Amino acid sequence: MSKLSYDAITSLDRRYLWHPYSALSPQQINYPVASAQGCTLKLADGRELVDGMASWWCAIHGYNVPELNTAVTEQLDDMAHVMFGGLTHQPAALLAEKLVSITPENLQSVFFSDSGSVSVEVAMKMAMQYWHSKGHPHKQKFATVRNGYHGDTFAAMSVCDPVTGMHSLFNDTLTPQFFAERPACRFGESCDGDDILSLKTILQAHADEIAAVIIEPVVQGAGGMWFYSADYLKQLRALCDQHNVLLILDEIATGFGRTGKLFACEHAGIAPDIMCVGKSLTGGYMTLAATLSSSEISQSISQGEPGIFMHGPTFMANPLACHVALRSIELLLSSPWQDRIDAIEQQLRRELATCETSPQVQDVRILGATGVVEMKQAVDMHRLQRRFVELGVWIRPFGKLIYLMPPYIISSEQLSRLTAAIHSVVKDF
Ligand SMILES: *Cc1c(COP(=O)(O)O)cnc(C)c1O
């Protein structure tokens, strides 16, 4: 394949392409990547960057992973895709079995979709259809906490933080939901009764219209990279049971080891009624997500009115994606992933915690393979981005947050490059 130059790609990009949360503007800077290997991104002009983002939580094994490359070609020889209506296949069957075996025991059925946002839509529909089948058709609303992030489609957006999610732009179309205060108790601390009071008050007053509480367990990701007490989740589980409200856990960012447990709900020892996974499900190779639910929910929907679940994406259970996901999970489970994440966490504590002494820094927090430096003021993302690229690293800050979530296979030398770059940027502030 002939390769375009760095400038040729950039010029086409500026002319035609939208990027996530960006303007279409000639001033936009997006760096062309020609290839990626291990923990390194290689730009089209030959510069190499150590990757601190794992492509937004996804590339847990790094890039160009031999086992996953093989998985793609293996599956290509059989078929890239077939429709899932009336047909089924080995990759979906084996992946479903694997997901059920590694997630909380009560989760027994799997709905595959093509992105995290869609898996959240599916979870919300499942909760609504469940209550409909139980003779409670008025339970159609959702409760959540502030500073959450669940995706960019409309129902998912309705439960994102109303401020950072820019609800005001879409107000006439967005369903109003119930928002409690974000959990204030930090991860590792216990959680006194007051913290859950805000959510408790909502459930006490409105449980008859609420289908489910939806929340990211332990780590709030794109809504502010906040790590809260597992104790809060325990109390939330009890509260949901008490008020006849389902619990949906969005493990799209936290699943597959990122927080030090395979799934973040394990920190609290609780199980949701419905759980969403995505992002690192395929090791960052392609887009796939899944919504898992308890038998109680799937049975009730299947036996109630109208007796079917009302969703069915064209690319549902895409065989290529399912096969790669299965191999990615096998690769993760056969690797010393807990030791790796533990080592990343220890190193982040040693090398990042000292940022806290800077007068510009509000807070440093570290959990598993994620490290966050929260500044007192919003950073100039484009300026910082340029500086990081000059320093040979790929780190993309947002708002007040400069953060790392590298592939689990990162070496300690590479991780030190990332933390040194953050120190350098913080010092320049
Ligand atoms: C990224 C993310 C989503 C949305 O997933 P997409 O694949 O981008 O649609 C939903 N919830 C959480 C917690 C996420 O981090």
pLDDT tens sequence across 81-137: 999 999 999 999 999 999 999 999 999 999 999 999 999 999 999 999 999 999 999
Query: Looking at the predicted structure, is the pLDDT value of residue 192 above 90?
Result: no
Q: Which atom of ligand 1 is nearest to the CA of 289?
A: 7
**Measuring CA to CA, which residue among 257, 376, 328 is closest to residue 63?**
328
Cβ atoms of 110 and 317 within 8 Å: the answer is: no
Q: How far is the CA of 135 from the centre of ligand 1 (A)?
A: 31
pLDDT tens sequence across 13-34: 999 999 999 999 888 899 999 9
pLDDT tens sequence across 369-413: 999 999 999 999 999 999 999 999 999 999 999 999 999 999 999
pLDDT tens sequence across 309-352: 999 999 999 999 999 999 999 999 999 999 999 999 999 999 99
* pLDDT for res 91: 98
Alpha-carbon span 250 to 274, nearest angstrom? 9
pLDDT tens sequence across 261-274: 999 999 999 999 99
Cβ atoms of 91 and 319 within 8 Å: the answer is: yes
Whether 31 is catalytic: no
C-alpha 377 chain-centroid distance = 25
Question: Between 152 and 193, where is the model more confident?
Answer: 152
Handedness of CA 252, 253, 254, 257 (dihedral sign): positive
DSSP per-residue string spanning 16-77: H---TT----TT---PPEEEEEBTEEEETTS-EEEESSHHHHT-TT-BS-HHHHHHHHHHHH
Whether 194 is catalytic: no
Q: How far is the CA of 173 from the centre of ligand 1 (A)?
A: 21
Q: Which atom of ligand 1 is nearest to the CA of 254?
A: 13
Q: How far is the CA of 116 from the centre of ligand 1 (A)?
A: 5
pLDDT band at 236 (very low <50, low <70, confident <90, very high): very high
Q: How far is the CA of 251 from the centre of ligand 1 (A)?
A: 9
Kindly list the distances between the CA atom of residue 151 and the CA atoms of 156, 172, 189, 345, in Å, as whole numbers in the listed order: 5, 19, 28, 27
Q: Which atom of ligand 1 is nearest to the CA of 222?
A: 15
From the candidates 63, 149, 228, 232, give the one annotated as an active-site residue: 149
C-alpha 390 chain-centroid distance = 28
Q: How far is the CA of 113 from the centre of ligand 1 (A)?
A: 12
- Is pTM beyond 0.95? Reply is yes
Which among 113, 117, 164, 248 is the best mutation to test ligand 1's pocket, defined by most ligand atoms within 8 Å of the CB?
Answer: 117
Phi-psi map region of 345: left, alpha, beta (phi>0 left; psi -120 to 50 alpha): alpha
Query: Looking at the predicted structure, is the pLDDT value of residue 165 above 80?
Result: no
Alpha-carbon span 153 to 348, nearest angstrom? 34
Report strand pairing: 274-277 vs 289-294. Answer: antiparallel
Give, to the nearest 10 degrees, the angle between helix 230-242 and helix 197-206.
10
From the candidates 16, 21, 77, 172, give the one annotated as an active-site residue: 21
**Measuring CA to CA, which residue among 330, 408, 298, 340 is closest to residue 99?**
330
The closest residue, in CA terms, to atom 8 on ligand 1 is 116
Phi-psi map region of 166: left, alpha, beta (phi>0 left; psi -120 to 50 alpha): left
Cβ atoms of 398 and 349 within 8 Å: the answer is: no
**Measuring CA to CA, which residue among 42, 39, 74, 43 is closest to residue 54?**
39
SS3 letters across 236-284: HHHHHHHCCCEEEEECCCCCCCCCCCCCHHHHCCCCCCEEEECHHHHCC
Whether 98 is catalytic: no
Query: Looking at the predicted structure, is the pLDDT value of residue 193 above 80?
Result: no
Q: Which atom of ligand 1 is nearest to the CA of 216?
A: 13
**Measuring CA to CA, which residue among 368, 365, 425 is closest to residue 395?**
425
The closest residue, in CA terms, to atom 7 on ligand 1 is 116
User: Which stretches of 142-213 are DSSP H helices?
Assistant: 154-158, 197-206
pLDDT band at 171 (very low <50, low <70, confident <90, very high): confident
The ligand 1 site (C-beta within 6 Å) comprises: 115-117, 120, 149-151, 216, 221-222, 250, 252-253, 278-279
Q: Which atom of ligand 1 is nearest to the CA of 151?
A: 4
**Measuring CA to CA, which residue among 303, 277, 127 is closest to residue 209?**
127
Interval 194-204 mean pLDDT: 96
From the candidates 51, 114, 250, 273, give the one annotated as an active-site residue: 250
Whether 279 is catalytic: yes
